[in-house]
A and B are shown apart, each in its own frame.
Chain A
Amino acid sequence: MAATETRIHYQEELERLEASALGGLDLVSDALERTLEAVEHQDVELAQLVVADDDRIDGRYLEVHQSLIALLARQSPVATDLRLISALLHVLKSIERMGDQCVNVCKMIPLSGNEPPADQEMVTLILSMGRQTRTLISQAKRAFEERSVEMAQDLVRQDDVVDNLNRDCFRLALEIGDDADRREWAMTMLLGARAIERIGDNAVDIGEQVAFIVTGLFREFEDASHPTS
């Protein structure tokens, strides 16, 4: 036993809670994977499964949130530990939102009807967005685990890819033509694309929390109200 190592149980609990919170990102990644599969195959049953399974993500949120509050009350964390717990509370909220966005996409699948997709190119774009967003999720998790500000900041670049794909979706929707059914389908798909785009933003938010833990300073990587470009 190291002579100076104390509060071992507290440290173990904090590590456990971090792993549990970040494990929520794996749940979200799985939910998004199934969401994309449901979109690709217009699989209403699979979509319903994703909606039902969101309870697991919400449950993780509630469980870890409660434990973090207890840890704050009982252990009086300071310095890096305090920043970590603050960051984890933010990350949990992001995870919960990401899960909800998957639910939003899945709920629109029955609305898009049983007809074949009006525009296969738009479906392909959305699937690309989703795959790219899953990369963002796993990168956000790794950046957090490794406390890598560099990797966290790179999430902005990765997210730009998702944003650009989202704009492409919008252009396709504009050009979809005058047919009312096709336009309704395109509008519905646009809502789905928008939900996936928001998941990417949440991944960037997690990256910002990584920078906060490491540097002690909070700043948005990108300020939507004051864009640099």
Chain B
Amino acid sequence: MAADESRAGTGREAREAAAERAAIAVRPEEFQHGSSSKREKVFELNGVEVLYSGVSAVKGIALDIHRNDVTALIGPSGCGKSTLLRCLNRMNDLIPGAEVRGELLYHGEDLYGPEVDPVQARKLIGMVFQKPNPFPKSIYDNVAFGPRILGRKEDLDATVERALRGAALWDEVKDRLDSNAFGLSGGQQQRLCIARCIAVEPDTILMDEPCSALDPISTGKIEDLMIELKEEFSIVIVTHNMQQAARVSDRTAFLMVELDADEDNRWGRLVEFDDTEKIFTNPSDQRTEDYVSGKVG
């Protein structure tokens, strides 16, 4: 017993690791089937509808999100772009009364299938929020948090450094990794959150207004970073800032609010989804043109 006890630590880790592998019904290596070309689909949405307590927030959403693209969701307030984004890593599960209908495939697998563990899905599909939300811990511990939880304790220093470099923060913090993360500027905190996100090696990063609380210089750094990150990850960003979508994204989806005949109900719908260059130089839909040129909003 005593001997078993002494090995329990490693044994538990191994079991947890095995359980984790089993729990990820949708594993990234399984997703790598088919073409590895630029056009590989990460998400396929068909007739997606999200309801809160039975009321539609968005409906009829059909779009494909491709690997290594930055895909931007734009539209006026209340058009459901954040709701749509949160569907992509099942964050809406955490909201009581939220329901997702329609087909939402992640690497060809139903993201809402009964065998999918939402916690595991969120590990593969990370998220960065509007307000930087570092933990009240050191810079190092913030980035190491995810890998430690996952039991990836080997080469933790290397993992932390790689993530901080990936988030273009390493040079600014390498001499004070033990300092509290709250001592960083807002822009640095946001990049720390990006580092924390990529430390667990996701394949997609969802960003919900990641720069709206930041000054223009910090915003510029995050935008530059997005262009670097898309080499390795797929990025979906919700932004109020149309010019930001224009600057950083490859594809842009424009959503707007639709009212029913008696104007009792309103929901978001997808108006146009195309290459960003097309959306901002020659959109197909007049409503897109009016929105991107600032004539309506």
Contacts and interface: CB of A to CB of B under 8 A. Distances in A.
Nearest to A76: B243
A75 B224 CA distance: 13
B227 A9 contact: yes
B217 A4 contact: yes
A84 B86 CA distance: 41
A73 B224 contact: no
B246 A73 contact: yes
A226 interface: no
A104 B19 CA distance: 77
A7 B246 contact: no
Interface string A1-43: 1011011111000000000000000000000000000000000
Contacts of A6: 217, 220-221, 223-224
Nearest to A8: B224
A69 interface: yes
Contacts of B223: 6-7
A70 interface: yes
Given A6-B221, A8-B224, A9-B224, A75 B247 contact: yes
Contacts of B227: 9
Query: Main SS of chain B's interface residues?
Result: helix
Interface footprint category on A: 10 to 19
A74 B224 CA distance: 14
Contacts of A69: 281
Interface in B189-218: 217
Contacts of A75: 246-247
A70 B221 contact: no
Given A1-B168, A1-B171, A74-B276, A10 B281 contact: no
Interface in A66-118: 69-70, 73-76
A174 to B, nearest CB: 52
B141 to A, nearest CB: 25
Contact of A73 (B168, B172, B217, B277): B277
A103 to B, nearest CB: 30
Interface in B137-185: 168, 171-172
B280 interface: yes
A74 B171 contact: no
B281 A70 contact: yes
Contacts of B276: 74
A9 B248 CA distance: 10
B280 A7 contact: no
Interface of B: 168, 171-172, 217, 220-221, 223-224, 227, 243, 246-247, 276-277, 280-281
4 closest A-B pairs (Cβ-Cβ)? A6-B220, A73-B280, A74-B246, A73-B281
